[in-house]
Structure 1
Amino acid sequence: MTWSEGGNSGSLPVQPELPRARILVVDDHAPNLLTLEATLGDLGEVVKAHSGEEALLHLLREDFALILLDVQMPGLDGFETARLIKERERSRFIPIIFLTARSRDASHVFRGYAQGAVDYVLKPFAPEILRSKVSVFVELFLKEEQLKRQEALLRQRERQAMERESAYRYRLLGDAMPLCVFAASPDGRLRYGNRTWTELSGLASEAVEDLWRSEVVHPEDREGVHAAWCLSVGTGQPFEVQFRLRCQRTQAFRWHLGRAVPERNERGRITGWIITATDIDNQKRAEEELARASVAKDAFLAAASHELRTPLAAAKMQVQLAQRKFGAELADGPRRALEGLDRQVDRMTKLVSDLLDVSRLLTGRLSLEVEEFDLVPLLRTTCERLQALSSEHRLRLETPETLPMRGDPGRIEQVVTNLVANAIRYSPQGGAVELRAWSEEGNVVLQVRDQGIGIPAEKLPVIFERFGQAHGARYGGLGLGLTISQGIIEQHGGRIWAESRGVEGEGSTFHVCMPLQS
């Protein structure tokens, strides 16, 4: 029942007239059947059967108030017919009166009662006595039918009362909720809107039937939300869509998130829909503002990074000139200061390059210079360069003799450098760093494994996001290297992922898989 529907609050419905009781008379002599019909016709509908077999066929199709059954019949006699009647669940409680021309000896009577008879009538019978006996059972049958109908009517009334109470409670609950709540019929027609809806729209709670195409919905959203609603109603799937509703008080449109779920009965059939519309205007505007701020931030980072490259390049050149010109003449202190300055300039240059690369990724301007090359020499050179920077770590390289592929060697080297440098950085106690490469099913596979501090499970989903760091800023960096590496690998048509149990000493393993011919 939808919230706009209710049960009949009046008295019980008028009971329909009870049907006439059916009386089954079974006798193999037609004159006897006619006599019984004439005698009992005004007590109920008399159905005649000429044999036990015919009587059983009637009982398969109809219910009877009483059975008058001749004992002596060819084929199935009265006793056998009664036994079969009592074996069926549907007919076992129908009263049976035996008609017999035999004397009422004890064994005969006992057998009849044993087969379920409630009485005996001797032939020839007195019409008044037979009518008296039959009328008792007919009256009992009609009283029982009347009780059944009254019980059904009472159950219906209870169900209607429960539905009215349920609908009332739903309505109270809907009116108490601080969001728009609607009820719809199984075919999707909206029937009711709660108090929040009436306060928002200024319309009556029932003025919702054509909501999706009404003036309350923003003109740009009407067709889209209507199409989404029709799809949900047609498929029975939940409905979720964002649209704008006009506030009657301010005449301004506000964003709402519409959701709907079907109500189903115990058989799974849809009996209605409950729809909600939650005001998300503040959230929507905050998201838009955040998006604008993010764009502005990215633009600033891109511009700042670009502008920083020139002074950094100049600083690097001045440091190198000073080292060449005065290196042999400088004492240990000034020489170490120049070396430290050189390293810091290199570090700043790397950070600026990362910021520029991220900016290019976001704007789709990170280009690749694709060519045919052998990956193995590139991996050897990278490992030798990084090994020279860290004597505490043992870099192990395992590759085939050659591994020809197609891609951007400079960008691939950048990815390998990021992964191996991270493995060294997050292994503060030293240890082995393994770099393996092989070809598999038309792909080149890289694997970098360390024995460091590992990555907590909850951090694995975020380490490839911009500025995402598994252990904060403790180990340096901006958290851009993996973001850039992922962008480069994806541009090569591949993917990159990490595995770690977050246990110190077990470290992490990074996997790269990309086509040999990108």
Structure 2
Amino acid sequence: MKADKNIKILIVDDNQNNLMSIEVALEKEGYSFSRALSGREALRILLHDQNFSLILLDVKMPIMDGYETAELIYERDSLKDIPIIFITAHDYEEAAMFKGYRAGAVDFIRKPFNPEMLRTKVAVFAEMFRKNQLLKRQEEKLKANNQELVLLNTELESRVNERTAELLELNTELRALNLSKDRFLSVISHDLRNPLSSILIAAEFLNKNAARITPKQVLNLSGIINKTAKEVLQQLNDLVDWAMKQREKSRFSPSKLDLRNEIDQSLELLSSLANQKKIGLENNVYDKICINGDEHMLRSILQNVITNAIKFTPAAGAPISITAAKVEDMVEICIADNGAGMSNDTLNALLDLGGSKPELGTDSERGSGLGLLLVREFVSQHGGSIAIESQLGAGTKFRFTIPFYVEV
């Protein structure tokens, strides 16, 4: 028979011959044995080794009999699952058996014992131990599988949440793209069609009445054509610029930028536009404020916002002021004018993803309405935010944030 050293049996008897007899009767089964000559010695062994499959315990022993020993053994929770078979030289009297079962016995064997009977009874408990061990392993495996399932479920939930967030972000981008498309079509269908119609009407009038119109009428009509053609060209330039920025906006390349210097360069490009309306441009940003930004995107943000401020500031109006202040890990840039300002309805429509209809400037300047979309997208790519304060007749303050540059 294959040895089963996993079955450990503690034999307790005050007689060495009895210990030897039990071991000899069971040795062919391949069990592992420990011996104790008294109840106290058994308790000492169990104090250091609790991994026994079965205890064979003699009832009649000096100082501490088998019943007392069993009661002390079962006082420990870690030992309560070890079955005890009492070995007794007495008859199976009902009172003695009741006392033994109350002490924790699972069976009795009478001395002198029948070896075959002993092997059979021990084999039953050995098999029970094996099955219990198998159940424990299966329980541990099931527990591990359950933990793995919990982890997989948590991971799945996390992936679903991430995917949901990605879909929501894509949905937001899709809405912005649809809005951009609508704005693009609006510019083509309305903002370009109307001035082209004006050019066509003036040209048709010249063509039909060339022989009898006065020089003054020619001057007036040519002025209309010239001015309207410039507006159409500006609209086309805005569209081309917007389309190019749409393609290039993914090329986000932030670096250390001197904010005052960047604003100076933008103001230089816009000075001729401001001079036409006799409006001053003031760079009130302190020296040595550095930001972590994309140079081309920052230039586009500044030019769009400052151009808009010029557009809605009356000729010879108060200067447009640019200031900046550090707010935690960001720099807030403010472009303030004292121009026409906006009503709450206009402001809310403007903040609604740039969905408002472009309004004429103080000198009837036209805009494509695409500027705020670009500004919003570029500020967002920097991880910044936009805020607008405005009041009719009291001007507008346009604020946006860009990360402060931190030396590494």
If the TM-score is normalised by the length of the shorter chain, which range does it land in? 0.3 to 0.5
The structure whose RCO (Cα within 8 Å, separation 6+) is larger is: 2
Larger strand fraction of residues: 1
